[in-house]
Amino acid sequence: MSKRVRTAVFPVAGLGTRFLPATKAMPKEMLTVVDRPLIQYAVDEAREAGIEHFVFVTGRNKAVIEDHFDRQFELEETLEMRGKTGALKELQRDLPSAGHTSFTRQQEPLGLGHAVWCARELVGDKPFALLLPDMIFRANPGVMKQMVEAYEERGGNIVGVEECDPADTASYGIVSRDEGPDSGFPITGMVEKPKPEDAPSNLFISGRYILQPEIFSLLSEQEKGAGGEIQLTDAMQTLMRRQSFTGVKYDGKVFDCGSKLGFLTANVAFALDREDLADGFREELRELGLTGEK
Ligand code: UTP
């Protein structure tokens, strides 16, 4: 039987250059969609999937992420005194249990593959979930939960994928696939940013993975790839020669909040999903000449 996935890695050491100047002193992962930081959505999704150990690969200017997942006694006391019990309960619910978070530093942002490699001592010899926090999902159940279900059935490595417009493949990592249901099918190859005419499918990798620990030794041998960065895809391609990779075309939709358009769209979509905001927000949109209707 496959080992359970208990640990999740969150790489949060990137520079976030597409969001400058907002990210000059503040981590991109603390940008908010409605009223929750991006990193909180990813942690919530991991927790829903049964993850118990949360490993953050941080960098300079990222200390606030560590504070976000700590208790703020003064604030809690003030909320209590003012009778704001709803807000207090919510803050407490968002926190991982004591001793269940670990932080390590990627001293230089040398790419996603390098950030994942920096987590090797904290993950150890176990399969782990990897969640890129700038990708958030509208999905129920959550995407990682759907992927853990596939992992429990098939073991190996699991990659979450979604369909893109076939004209847009050059913006993504694209997989080629064999026959099988959306809930789990063999992945036969991966290619970074292919032109539409060269793309093996329109299924793109959307920032959710379950990986076996053998990926770490491959990452340590990895040469710098595209953009002078150590690429995760290159190491996964090598691992694919030795281990199975299963694709999960999950039920849900991704918002790429590392890009301004994705971030703005996510704010609109998530606000319209909120009972406490939807009516008022729709009204504001209507006044702006936008319908806001689904
Ligand atoms: P991105 O590819 O979006 O890079 O990283 P970035 O540096 O954050 O943003 P831009 O492109 O300059 O605007 C995807 C995820 O991987 C992390 C990021 O923090 C983000 O959560 N990452 C990326 C690292 O942890 N280290 C790196 O060296 C690169």
Question: Does the residue 150 lie in any domain?
Answer: yes
Mean pLDDT of 81-89: 90
**Structure confidence by residue, pLDDT tens digits, 184-195:** 999 999 998 999
Q: Ligand 1, residue 229: give the atom nearest the CA.
A: 28
Q: What residue type is assigned to position 147 of the chain?
A: M
Q: Whose CA is nearest to atom 21 of ligand 1?
A: 12
- The predicted pLDDT at position 264 comes to 97
Asked whether residue 171 carries a pLDDT value surpassing 70, the answer given is yes
Asked whether residue 61 carries a pLDDT value surpassing 80, the answer given is no
- 191 exposed, middle or buried (CB, 10 Å; 0-12, 13-18, 19+)? middle
Q: Whose CA is nearest to atom 4 of ligand 1?
A: 14
CA distance linking residue 73 with residue 264, whole number of Å? 33
**Largest Cα–Cα separation, the chain:** 63
Question: Does the residue 282 lie in any domain?
Answer: no
CA distance linking residue 232 with residue 225, whole number of Å? 9
Q: In the chain, how many domains are there? A: 1
- The predicted pLDDT at position 228 comes to 73
**Structure confidence by residue, pLDDT tens digits, 209-236:** 999 999 999 998 877 766 777 789 989 9
Question: Does the residue 269 lie in any domain?
Answer: no
Mean pLDDT is lowest, of 204-208, 232-236, 268-272, for 232-236
Question: Does the residue 273 lie in any domain?
Answer: no
**Structure confidence by residue, pLDDT tens digits, 133-156:** 999 999 999 999 999 999 999 999
Q: Ligand 1, residue 10: give the atom nearest the CA.
A: 21
CA of 126 to the centre of ligand 1 (A): 24
- The predicted pLDDT at position 231 comes to 84
Confidence band (pLDDT; 50, 70, 90) for 291? confident
pTM of the model: 0.94
Question: Does the residue 108 lie in any domain?
Answer: yes
Q: Whose CA is nearest to atom 15 of ligand 1?
A: 132
- The predicted pLDDT at position 3 comes to 78
- 48 exposed, middle or buried (CB, 10 Å; 0-12, 13-18, 19+)? middle
Question: Does the residue 61 lie in any domain?
Answer: yes
- The predicted pLDDT at position 60 comes to 80
CATH number at residue 200: 3.90.550.10
Q: Whose CA is nearest to atom 23 of ligand 1?
A: 14
Q: Residue 229: give the domain boundaries.
A: 7-258
Mutate to test the pocket of ligand 1, among 39, 132, 230 (most ligand atoms within 8 A of CB): 132
Question: Does the residue 13 lie in any domain?
Answer: yes
Question: Does the residue 192 lie in any domain?
Answer: yes
In this structure, the residues whose C-beta lies within 6 A of any atom of ligand 1 are 11-18, 28-29, 57, 106, 109-112, 114-115, 132-134, 258
Mean pLDDT is lowest, of 88-97, 121-130, 179-188, 255-264, for 88-97
Share of residues in the chain with pLDDT > 90 (%): 77
**Structure confidence by residue, pLDDT tens digits, 102-126:** 999 998 888 999 999 999 999 999 9
CA of 215 to the centre of ligand 1 (A): 19
CA of 10 to the centre of ligand 1 (A): 11
Q: Ligand 1, residue 11: give the atom nearest the CA.
A: 25
- The predicted pLDDT at position 293 comes to 57
> In whole numbers, what is the pLDDT of the chain averaged over residues?
93
CA distance linking residue 223 with residue 158, whole number of Å? 24
**DSSP letter string over the chain?**
-PPP--EEEEE-----GGGTTTTTTS-GGG-EETTEEHHHHHHHHHHHTT--EEEEEE-TT-HHHHHHTS--HHHHHHHHHTT-HHHHHHHHHHSPPTT-EEEEE-SS---HHHHHHTTHHHH-SS-EEEE-TTEEEE-SS-HHHHHHHHHHHH-SEEEEEEE--GGGGGGSEEEEE-S--TTSEEEEEEEES--GGG-S-SEEEEEEEEE-THHHHHHHHPPP-GGGS--HHHHHHHHTTTS-EEEEE-SSEEEETTSHHHHHHHHHHHHHT-TTTHHHHHHHHHHTT-----
CB 162 within 8 A of CB 182: no
Asked whether residue 256 carries a pLDDT value surpassing 90, the answer given is yes
CA of 16 to the centre of ligand 1 (A): 6
Q: Ligand 1, residue 27: give the atom nearest the CA.
A: 19
